[in-house]
Structure 1
């Protein structure tokens, strides 16, 4: 696994130190440490870590609320907690965390959890990217179809002929068919 930049947030300094030592020993970079959720968010905004490891119970803003905000910043979160009750796990599910470890943790627990959490996050990024590309392609196809219908109706030609006309005009004007279709649809 490649080196990750990791933010640690836990209100217990000894826990942060243990986690930091495990991470450094595994070749990761601990870019920042925080003892509460507000500080973790501030540091995450400034440093954009690859991953955040958060304690659930911290003063001020707890780890679950912090995780929700970090998720909106596109930073994956691995939660560490002494609490394994189902109410915490259900809240964790709702804030899109990528892992949940119950303390005390060992290097043997932490390192695979980090690797899996980061891999799942990357997969989610790929899915989001593909979804956005598909949305853009669908929008483009709808725009072209609408432009073809407008041309066919206005010029009294078939949609095939309208499509051919769009292609030739776009080539002549050195613009994309989508841009030309947008211009035509925009003229209605």
Structure 2
């Protein structure tokens, strides 16, 4: 399969030579740039399979651009192309997730295998990152489910096991993941907390009884044409409470 590639170098002649070399090796050059800023913007637009970056460039240097591209998943892999080798740089490039490193002048016979190896390495890095992100997402969702289970248990005065079964049942009935039910439970609790805190705020600020504070909150909600919970949230925001 023909790979798409972006070539970025501040020397027009070097860019031209690289593009011609790549096209002759059956790569499809989709864009060219002259500095790190171009590299990032072109990758945002094109999402190429790979980007070949010079190291020393104005605005953004190649490594800074590479870090931005990799962090944003803007290309399948990043290959640095430079006229010198530096151990500290190579270490930083490896930590950033750069998949390949070519030293100028580049020979056509080594370019294609080097880029194919870099592509394979980039795919492994992307897979590893995706797996790590998925694990973090699952961990965060499990935390939310546990929180929702605890709140529902406390609210309904039932065991956490029964609360979890209720959430499972609701998820099955509504045909949604259980995390969706957990988020709804937590959001409802947040809104309820806002109303309670707003009442307490009014009672303290205006020396009102609880019924008086709730009545004032209800009147404010009607005046603003929003729910009581939304009026409570707005009131707390205005008071600098949230």
TM-score under structure 2 length normalisation:
0.65
| More divergent stretch after superposition (113-122 vs 150-159) | 150-159
SS at match of 2:56: coil
- Contact 2:3–2:27 (8 Å) recurs in 1: yes
Q: Which consecutive unaligned segments of at least 5 residues does structure 1 have?
A: none
| More divergent stretch after superposition (101-110 vs 36-45) | 36-45
Counterparts of 1:8-157 in structure 2 under 5 Å?
Answer: 8-74=7-73, 75=75, 76-93=77-94, 95-157=96-158
Q: Relative to 1, partners in 2 of residues 1:126 and 1:87: Cα closer, same or farther, differing over 3 Å?
A: closer
Superposed displacement of residue 53, structure 1: 0.8
Q: Relative to 1, partners in 2 of residues 1:107 and 1:132: Cα closer, same or farther, differing over 3 Å?
A: same
**Which residue is equivalent to 1:165?**
166
Q: Which consecutive unaligned segments of at least 5 residues does structure 2 have?
A: 190-242
- Contact 2:141–2:179 (8 Å) recurs in 1: yes
Once superposed, what is the RMSD of the aligned Cα atoms? 2.6
Superposed displacement of residue 108, structure 1: 2.7
Superposed displacement of residue 175, structure 1: 4.0
TM-score under structure 1 length normalisation:
0.81
Aligned residues between the structures: 187
Superposed displacement of residue 30, structure 1: 0.8
Deviations 1:119-162 (A, max 9, x none): 22222222222223222322232222223223333434332222
Q: Relative to 1, partners in 2 of residues 1:187 and 1:33: Cα closer, same or farther, differing over 3 Å?
A: closer
Q: Distance in 1 between matches of 2:60 and 2:153?
A: 60
Kindly indicate which of the two structures has a greater share of residues assigned to helix.
2
- Greater Rg over alpha carbons, structure: 2
Superposed displacement of residue 78, structure 1: 0.8
